Structure 1
Amino acid sequence: MCNLYNMTRGVEAMRQLFADLDNRAGNLEPGDVYPDRMGAIITATPQGHALQRARWGMPSPQQFHSASGIDRGVTNIRNTASSHWRRWLTPANRCLVPLDRFSEPRKGKGAGYAWFAPADGRPAFFAGIWVPKWRSVRKLKDGPTTDDLFAFLTTEPNAEVAEIHPKAMPVILTEPDEWQGWLSWPWMEAKLLQRPLPDGALVSWGAI
């Protein structure tokens, strides 16, 4: 599953895509994003769109918490029919997660990663969900913390990703109408966006 992605677009680049953007994130530092780290997300607001930061890893179902109550979080979500996830599928809990490229681990110990990016270089976003001000124990040494959390959906892979990961790929949106639809459509319409990119839509490297 995708547990590493890269994002280099700054605030001004985001404003070119969303003219009404309210920047609540401050400066965005380009680089790799790992689970349980902070990443940029875009959410819908009554005034337009907000750019903010959230911690990568949605709340896990209770049965996956450790014996000491630690919740490591869920980074990739596939089963949107689950009662655990259905409560967060409304427009208020959907977000866009900007990316330039994402990785999938190659088979074999120490084999490294294969990277994937849109073949045409266009701006792209993961179809994400988020929850604000969630209180949990992410690390025992930190104790209970209150965090804005996010994760993104996965689906079956397209041809490029299937060579490395035959079970899943992130849901990636590259069209402005998809971005707006994900943030605003009723779930019965928005769920149709949980689909792979067309074959040939990604370039890859490090896949051998």
Structure 2
Amino acid sequence: MCNRYRLTAKQAEVMATFGIRPPYEPDETFPVGDIFPTGKKTPFYGAVIVKDGDDRRLERMEWGVPTQLPSKRDPSVKLTKYVTNVRNLSSSFWRSMLTTPARRCLVPVTSFSEYGIAPGEDGKKPLHWFDVPSRPIFAFAGIWRPTERGNAYGFLTTEPNAIVVPIHPKAMPVILHDDDYERWLTASWDELGGVVAPYPSQLMRVLADGSV
């Protein structure tokens, strides 16, 4: 599960990468830096790209879609959980967003992290960072929906590729190829079967010290 990623590019670079037309207004909140999941008391935000007619626009949303789940102690009590990673694509909760192009988004990223399997010398699982050297800014396949606190997003995960699996064998984010951006934002769900797949491992690298 990816619960920390980075966006270290400036706003103008992000907007140009995703085909948003200039002029680009300066934004002091960029670079965003490390992005963490939102919480019940403290909201955390990330940047996403959504469709705006024939164009695209950059928006700020909470990372974590709220959903109600039964408490483990008392199933009759519903607790709010903020879901950041979407894996069960057959769930009716996610299908309503996945099958609606207007509820899909691009999540700009410069690198992402996964925790390793074995604890290090300090007893903690080490955090490993990954990027795509040929693409300084890339995108996860995201979905979003309105909530009581504003718009919130998550992104899809899939089977890990050969570079991620030794470190995190459960899953990795769905990284879109450049030519899949418009399809993800506009195509019907039935046309996107091949998009939800592990990104080619030979195009990625592990950042030894977590630097970008």
TM-score by length of structure 1 reads 0.84
Distance 2:186 2:26 in 1: 22
Give the letter aligned to residue 74 of structure 1.
V
Partners of 1:8 and 1:72 in 2: how far apart? Answer: 28
2:19 counterpart of 1:16: no
Show the counterpart of 1:101: 111
Hey, what does 1:84 align to over in structure 2? 93
Which residue identity is paired with 1:195? Answer: A
C-alpha displacement of 1:61: 4.4
Q: CA deviation at 1:206?
A: 4.1
* Aligned counterpart, 1:170: 173
Structure 1 runs not aligned, ≥5 long = 136-145
With over 3 angstroms needed to count, the CA separation of the structure-2 counterparts of 1:72 and 1:206, relative to structure 1, is farther
CA displacement at 1:22 relative to structure 2: 8.9
- Summarize the Cα distance change of 1:25–1:162 in structure 2 as closer, same or farther, 3 Å threshold: farther
CA–CA distance in 2 between the matches of 1:54 and 1:65? 29
Does residue 207 of structure 2 align to residue 200 of structure 1?
A: no
Q: Which amino acid aligns with 1:29?
A: F
Q: Scaled by the length of structure 2, what TM-score is found?
A: 0.83
- Supply the RMSD in Å over aligned alpha carbons: 2.5
Contact kept? 1:35, 1:75, Cα under 8 Å: yes
- Number of aligned pairs? 195
* 1:69 Cα deviation from its structure 2 partner: 5.0
CA distance in 1, matches of 2:182, 2:90: 22
What residue in structure 2 maps to residue 154 of structure 1?
A: 157
Could you tell me how far apart the structure 2 residues matched to 1:204 and 1:14 are? 22
Task: Quickly say closer, same or farther: Cα 1:87–1:104, change in 2 above 3 A.
Answer: same
Same amino acid, percent of matched pairs: 37
* Alpha-carbon distance in 2 for matches of 1:188, 1:172: 19
